Structure 1
Amino acid sequence: MATRKKYIQRAIAVVLLLTGINIAAAYFHGRWDLTKEKRYTLTSHTRQMLRQLDSPVDIEVFLKGDYPASFRQLAQATSELLEEFREYGKQNVRFTFVNPGQGMTDTARMKFLGELTAQGIMPFNMQVQQESNDGFAQKLIFPGALVHYKGKTMGVNLLKNQGGQDPMQTMNNSEALLEYQFANAISKLQQKEKPLIGYMMGHGESLGAEVYDALSTLQSNYALDTLTLQSASFISPEFNVILFAKPAGAFSEADKLKIDQYVMNGGKVLWFIDESSASMDSLHQQNAFVAVDRGLNLEDLLFRYGVRINQDLVMDLQSDVVPLVVGNVGNRPQIQPVPFPYFPMLMPTKAHPIVKNLDMVLSRFVSSMDTIKNDAVRKTVLLTTSRTSRATRLPTEVSWDVVKTQPNPREYRQQYIPTAILLEGHFTSLFHNRQDPAVVEALQRASGKPFRDATDTINKMIVVSDGDLIANAVSRKEGPLQMGINEFNPGFAFANKEFFLNCLEYLSGNSGIMEARNKELTLRLLDNGKIRQEKTKWQVICFLVPIGLILLFAMIFQFVRQRKATSY
C-alpha cells in the first residue's frame, strides 16, 4: 500500500512538473542557433522592426503544391524564417501558404496570376513529367509572396535570377536573401513618405523607351522628380539621392559647383557615367567606328571625391552575346549569337551588402576605374570584370571584326578591373580655395546655405563607369524589356535591376535593412564518389545498429528484472 501511494505521489509530481514547464514555456522560452553562419538568427534591425509593429502584417506565400524538392526546400526555409518573424512580431505577424489560383475558374485564375505579375512576382516555367506517359509538360509557378500591411500590398520575389549560376547555388542564395526580402517589404510598407529621387537632366540624359524600366522602377519604389541642372539655381536638399543616368554633354563649372555643394550638405549621388562615345547605334550603322572621350568635364570633381574613370574601353572574354550572320541558306541569312567582348558580364565582389548574393550584371562599353589615395574616404569596389579582361585606351576602333576571329587569351591578362565603386567618408569640396566669389554669393542667396569646404558628417556616393547598366533593350515585338535582359539572349535577366535598387536603398538611408543581405549560407554537399564507395557499409550500419540497440536494451532490461526478482 505504501509502495502504491509512493508511485501515485511520484506520478502526480511528474504531471505537475510537466504542466509547470509547459506553462512557463508559453511565457519564457528561447532558441539557440548552433549553425556556423547563424542561419536562423535575425539581424538586430529586423528584430527591432518586428517588435515595433503597430498593426498586423499578413503574408501570403505562393509555395504550396506539388513542387520539386528544391522548391519544397525553399518553402521550408521560408516557413522557418516567418516562424522566427512571429517570435518577435507576436500576433502582428501572420502568414499562410497557398497554391495560387487553386479552386478558381480559368478566367479568374489567369486574372489572379496577372495581378501577381503586376506586383513584381515573376513566374518560373518548370518542366513536370506527366503521369500518363513519359512526356513533359510546362507548368508556371510563382515563387513569391504578397505582404499586406494597413491596406497596402507589396510583392516579394523569393527566387533569384538564375543567369550565370547553377540551380543549387541559386536556391542557396535565394534562401540567404529571404530575411532581406521580407524585412525590406515590411519596411517599405511602413514608410509614411517615400524618399525623393532626383533624375538629373540637361546634359543629354534620356527620358525615352531605353530607360523605361529604370523610370518605372523609380516610380514604383520612390518619389521621383526631374531636375534640369542648368536652369536650377541649386540642388534642393529635399532630394535624398540624385541620379545621373548616362549624361552626354559637358558639365560647366557652375553645374559642378551645384553638385559639389549638394554633396557638401549631405546629398547622395548615384553616377552612371559613359566615359566613351561607344554605342550599339554606331555599330548598327557601320561595320566599325572610332570611340572617343565624351569630354564630360567631370574628371576633377570625381577625382576630388576619390575615384577616376579612365579614358578606355574594357574587353572581357566573359561577355554577353550579339547576333552575327555566319552564312546563308538559300536567300536567308543564318544568324548565330556570339560573345561580344565589349559586353562584359560584371562580377559582384561580395565586399558589401549591396552586392552580397548578387548574380552577374550585364554591361555595355564599360570603362575601367581607379581609386585615389584619400584617407578620409573609404572606397569599396562593388563590380569588376572577370580574370580574363583587358582595357584599350581611347581613342580606339570598335569593329564587328572582333567577333569574327578567335580571341587570343594572352591579350586578356588583366584581372578583376573595377567598374563600380562605393565612396564613403568626409568629402572635400572641389572649389575649396578656388571658388568664384560672385558665383558662390549667387548660390548662397538662392539656397540660403553658406558655402561649405567639406562635409560635416560621413557622406556616400556610388560611381559606375557604364551608363547603359540601367538602360533596357527595346524589342520590336514586346517594346521595352527589363534592364539586364539582352534582346538577343532573352533566356534570363541579369541582376542589373537588383543592383540598381540595392544602390538606391543604401544611399537613401535604409542601410539597416541592407545588413540582412550579409547572410551567406554554406552549401555542404555530400561527396558523390564517397557515397558510391561506402553506400553498402552505411546501409548495413543504418539497418543493423538500431536493431542491435533495441536488443541490447531488451537484454539489459531483462537482466535488471531478474536481479530484482532474486533480491526479494
Structure 2
Amino acid sequence: MATTIRKKYFQRAIGVILVLIGVNIAAAYIHGRWDLTAEKRYTLSNNTIQLLKKLDSPIEIEVYLKGDYPASFKQLAQATQELLEEFREYGKQNIRFTFVNPGQGLSDSARMKFLGELTAQGIMPFNMKVQEDAHDGYAEKLIFPGAMLHYKDKKTGINLLKNQGGQDPMQTMNSSESLLEYQFASAISKLQEAEKPLIGYMMGHGESLGAEVYDALTTLQSNYNLDTLTIQTTPYIPRDFDVILFAKPAAAFSDADKFKIDQYVMNGGKVMWFIDETNASLDSLQKKESFLAFDRGLNLEDLLFRYGVRINQDIIQDLQCDAVPLVVGNVGNRPQIQPLPFPMFPLLNPTGAHPIVRNMDLVLSHFSSSLDTIRNENIKKTILLTSSRTSKTMRVPAEISWTSLKVQPNTREYRKSFIPAAVLLEGKFTSLYHNHVDPAVAGPLEQASHTPVKAETDKANAMIVVSDGDLIANAISRKDGPLQMGINEYNPGYAFANKEFMLNCLEYLTGRQGIMESRNKEITLRLLDAEKVKKEKTKWQFICFAVPVGLILLFAMVFLFIRQRRFAE
C-alpha cells in the first residue's frame, strides 16, 4: 500500500515537471505583451516595428550608462534597457545590446583617446557633480550618457540625455525618455541607408561658407551627401538634390535665379530657407558702438509670398533672450565686464505641435524677423518656432546700439506673444511665373533639363522658411575655434537645440516622416504635490508604519482565535 502511494506521488511529480517544461518551451515561442500604461510608453510605432523586422544584419548597441550614477540616470538606463528589450522582440537576434562603463579598465591615455572618439561620434559629455564621501565636498565627474550603434562596417553615436534649457531636471529626464524610441530608430534607419540623401548647399548670393558655418557643414557631411551649387552658373537645379539649402544669402536674387528655384520646387524639389531679411549682425555691433539696420533687398518677397509666407522687415525683441558681455564700468585700470540680456537674441520656443520640434529645447537666434502666413487653401502652414509670451517687433530701418543694453527694458512694451519665426509649408505649390513666363528665360531651362515648364506641383511638396540666417551659424572661440551651433561663445557650457532643429527639418524633408512619428510619444511625468506632501507628511508616515503592523497583529489574533476554537472542540 505504501509503495503504491509513493508511486502515485512520484507520477504526479513527474507530470507536474513535464507540464512546467512544456509551458516554458511554449512560452519561448508563443507569448504576448500588454501595455497597460495610459500613454502607451511601451508600445512601439508601426514604422519602428517594420524597420526592426526588416533588419538583415545584427545591430550591435553599446549603451554608456553603466556605473555609479544618481537615481535619475539609473532611471534613464532602466528605460533604455526596457526599450531595447522591446526592440529585440521584433528584431530578434539582429538586436544585440550591452551596457558598459566607458573607459573602465583603460589607462589614462587610452581612456582619453576613447572618450575623444565618443565625442567625435556626436556623444557629448555631461559634467555631473557627485559627493564621493559624506564628509567630503562635491567632485565633478564626466559621463557620456549616450550609445554607439554598429552595423556592418558603419557606426553612429546618439545622445540619450536631451538638453532642456531652464527645465526641471526631472522634466529633462522625462523628455529624454520620450525621445528614446526616435533616437534609436532614426540611427538604425540611417545606418541601413544604401545611399544618403543629397543636400545642395546653394551659393552665388553671398551665402555663408566659412568658419561661421563650420559645424553646420560638418554635420551635413556626416549625415548626408553634400554638394555646393552656384545657381548663376548652372542652367537649372538638378532634381538629384533631395533638398537645397540657402544659408543667409546677402545679395539680391534675379528673376532668372528665382525661376530656377521655382521650377525646382514645381518638379518636387524641397527647399530650406535660412533668411536674414535685415543686415543686422553682431559683427556690425562689435566694430562700432551703433549701426543702422535696414532691409537687405533680397528680392525674394514675391516668390515666398506665392508659396504662402512673408518675412517682415522688422526685428523680434524678446525678454526671453540670450546674454552678451558688456563693459559696465572699471575697477581700477581693469574694465568690469558683465553679461547682459540682449532682447534681439531671442530664445525661440518650439511649438510642440509637430514631430520636427516635439520635445525639443529652446533655439538660439540672432536678429530674427517675424513671419506672416498667407491665406492659401492649397498650402498647409505649420508654425515651428515662435518668440515667448513677452516680445515685440521693431521696424527697420532702425538704429541698434550698445547703449540700449544698459537701459532696463520696459516690460509693458513687450505685449506680443508667440511671434512666428519658422514655418513649414506643405501642399501643392503654384508657380510664381504661372501665365507670364519669359520665353528667353524658360527656353534654355527647358532645353537643359529636358523638362517642360510647370505651373504647379503634380503632388504635395514641402519647404521650411526660417527668418534667421544665423540660426545655423556657430560662434568662433579664440581658444577652441569654431564651436557647436547654438552655443554662446561667452557661455560655452550649454548648447541650445539649433543643430537638432536643422537635422529634424532635413529628416522630415528627405522623407523620414515615418520614423519621426515616434517623436510624438510623450511620457506623462506624474509628480507628487510637494505642498501636499509637506502638509500631510506625518499622517502618511503614521499610516505607512501602523497599517502593516496592524494587519499583521489582526491576522495573528484571528489565527489564534480560530486555532483555540478548533482545538477546544
Partner residue of 1:110 out of 106, 109, 112: 112
Partner residue of 2:374 out of 372, 385, 393: 372
Equivalent residue, structure 2, for 1:424: 426
Deviations 1:37-93 (A, max 9, x none): 111111111111111111111100111011111111111111111111111111110
Deviation of the 1:460 alpha carbon: 0.4
Alignment of 1:154-303 (within 5 A): 154-303=156-305
**Matches of 1:555 and 1:57 in 2, distance apart?**
59
Deviations 1:485-544 (A, max 9, x none): 011222301100000110011101111111111111111111122223333333333334
Alignment of 1:517-528 (within 5 A): 517-528=519-530
Deviations 1:114-139 (A, max 9, x none): 11111111111111113284222211
Equivalent residue, structure 1, for 2:334: 332
Is the deviation greater in 286-295 or in 231-240?
A: 286-295
Partner residue of 2:132 out of 130, 135, 156: 130
Equivalent residue, structure 1, for 2:345: 343
Equivalent residue, structure 1, for 2:539: 537
Equivalent residue, structure 2, for 1:490: 492
- Look up the equivalent residue of 1:395 and give its one-letter code: P
- Secondary structure at the aligned position of 1:33 is classed as coil
* Contact 2:178/2:523, CA 8 A, preserved across alignment: yes
Partner residue of 1:509 out of 495, 507, 511: 511
Deviation of the 1:557 alpha carbon: 6.4
**Matches of 2:556 and 2:429 in 1, distance apart?**
77
Is the deviation greater in 218-227 or in 283-292?
A: 283-292
Aligned pair 1:322/2:324, yes or no? yes
Equivalent residue, structure 2, for 1:362: 364
- Look up the equivalent residue of 1:26 and give its one-letter code: A
Equivalent residue, structure 1, for 2:470: 468
- The root-mean-square deviation of aligned C-alpha atoms, in Å, is 2.0
Deviation of the 1:411 alpha carbon: 1.0
* Contact 2:275/2:467, CA 8 A, preserved across alignment: yes
- Secondary structure at the aligned position of 1:491 is classed as strand
* Contact 1:506/1:514, CA 8 A, preserved across alignment: yes
Alignment of 1:41-56 (within 5 A): 41-56=43-58
Deviations 1:193-247 (A, max 9, x none): 1100000000001211000000000001000000000111000000000000000
**Matches of 1:130 and 1:559 in 2, distance apart?**
54
**Matches of 1:152 and 1:158 in 2, distance apart?**
20
Deviation of the 1:549 alpha carbon: 4.2
- Look up the equivalent residue of 1:378 and give its one-letter code: K
**Matches of 1:389 and 1:210 in 2, distance apart?**
28
**Matches of 2:134 and 2:370 in 1, distance apart?**
56
- Look up the equivalent residue of 1:479 and give its one-letter code: G
Is the deviation greater in 510-519 or in 547-556?
A: 547-556
Percentage of identical aligned residues: 73
* Contact 2:57/2:152, CA 8 A, preserved across alignment: yes
**Matches of 1:548 and 1:14 in 2, distance apart?**
38
**Matches of 1:176 and 1:256 in 2, distance apart?**
41
**Matches of 2:165 and 2:536 in 1, distance apart?**
35
**Matches of 2:101 and 2:266 in 1, distance apart?**
52
**Matches of 1:560 and 1:25 in 2, distance apart?**
42
* Contact 2:53/2:90, CA 8 A, preserved across alignment: yes
* Contact 1:164/1:359, CA 8 A, preserved across alignment: no
**Matches of 2:153 and 2:191 in 1, distance apart?**
9
**Matches of 1:363 and 1:501 in 2, distance apart?**
16
Over 3 Å counting, the alpha-carbon distance change for 1:226 and 1:491 in structure 2 is same
**Matches of 2:370 and 2:283 in 1, distance apart?**
22
Deviation of the 1:33 alpha carbon: 1.2
The number of equivalent residue pairs is 567
Equivalent residue, structure 2, for 1:477: 479
Over 3 Å counting, the alpha-carbon distance change for 1:565 and 1:452 in structure 2 is farther
- Secondary structure at the aligned position of 2:263 is classed as helix
Deviation of the 1:148 alpha carbon: 0.6
Over 3 Å counting, the alpha-carbon distance change for 1:445 and 1:250 in structure 2 is same
**Matches of 2:372 and 2:546 in 1, distance apart?**
64
Is the deviation greater in 312-321 or in 542-551?
A: 542-551
Alignment of 1:74-85 (within 5 A): 74-85=76-87
Aligned pair 1:454/2:456, yes or no? yes
**Matches of 2:193 and 2:285 in 1, distance apart?**
45
- Secondary structure at the aligned position of 1:32 is classed as coil
Deviations 1:362-408 (A, max 9, x none): 00010000000111110000000011111111211111122111111
**Matches of 1:286 and 1:461 in 2, distance apart?**
37
**Matches of 1:481 and 1:438 in 2, distance apart?**
46
- Secondary structure at the aligned position of 1:490 is classed as strand
**Matches of 1:201 and 1:564 in 2, distance apart?**
97
* Contact 2:428/2:459, CA 8 A, preserved across alignment: yes
Deviations 1:465-497 (A, max 9, x none): 000000001111111111000112223011000
- Secondary structure at the aligned position of 1:321 is classed as strand
Alignment of 1:365-404 (within 5 A): 365-404=367-406
* Contact 1:164/1:360, CA 8 A, preserved across alignment: no
Deviation of the 1:166 alpha carbon: 2.4
Scaled by the length of structure 2, the TM-score of the pair is 0.96
Deviation of the 1:27 alpha carbon: 1.1
* Contact 2:164/2:362, CA 8 A, preserved across alignment: no
- Secondary structure at the aligned position of 1:23 is classed as helix
Deviation of the 1:183 alpha carbon: 0.8
- Look up the equivalent residue of 2:356 and give its one-letter code: I
Deviation of the 1:325 alpha carbon: 0.6
- Secondary structure at the aligned position of 1:185 is classed as helix
Deviations 1:238-260 (A, max 9, x none): 00000000000101111111001
* Contact 1:200/1:226, CA 8 A, preserved across alignment: yes
Over 3 Å counting, the alpha-carbon distance change for 1:335 and 1:27 in structure 2 is same
**Matches of 1:529 and 1:438 in 2, distance apart?**
74
* Contact 1:165/1:359, CA 8 A, preserved across alignment: no
Scaled by the length of structure 1, the TM-score of the pair is 0.96
**Matches of 1:405 and 1:66 in 2, distance apart?**
48
**Matches of 2:104 and 2:547 in 1, distance apart?**
45
**Matches of 1:16 and 1:548 in 2, distance apart?**
42
* Contact 1:162/1:492, CA 8 A, preserved across alignment: no
Deviation of the 1:556 alpha carbon: 6.3
**Matches of 1:478 and 1:559 in 2, distance apart?**
80
Where does the alignment leave 5 or more consecutive residues of structure 2 unmatched? Answer: none
**Matches of 1:231 and 1:147 in 2, distance apart?**
41
Equivalent residue, structure 2, for 1:97: 99
Is the deviation greater in 17-26 or in 308-317?
A: 17-26
**Matches of 2:455 and 2:276 in 1, distance apart?**
28
